[in-house]
Copies of this chain bind each other. A is one copy, B any other.
């Protein structure tokens, strides 16, 4: 609402900045790769990150307009915002060029975690806390 852009490049720099952090970049990679929504506890387990940091990083991605939030009961699901412009499209493609083998562990944990869903619905929270 009151988000005044200081300069006409803030949109672009915000997106680049959002992706300049490992955790956020991994989240984006996941979101783009699995091409479905994923809830916070799942991200926590997949990335082996703690709860509050994941939440904070998601907020930054959301503010940059990269992800979308959808509450479902106790859970909050996030997914990629989809094509909003040429720039975002190219950024998406850039993120997707990051090779899978840099994400092997995350991919494995993600498969495991998503397979725990019942009827496509997330039913369990976080196992591991660091």
Contact = CB atoms under 8 A, between A and B. Distances in A.
A97 B87 contact: yes
Tell me whether chain A's interface is mostly helix, strand or loop, or mixed.
Answer: helix
Contacts of A63: none
B93 A90 contact: yes
A106 to B, nearest CB: 11
Nearest to A96: B90
A26 interface: yes
A50 to B, nearest CB: 17
A24 B7 CA distance: 14
A20 interface: yes
Interface string A87-124: 10111011001100010000000000000000000000
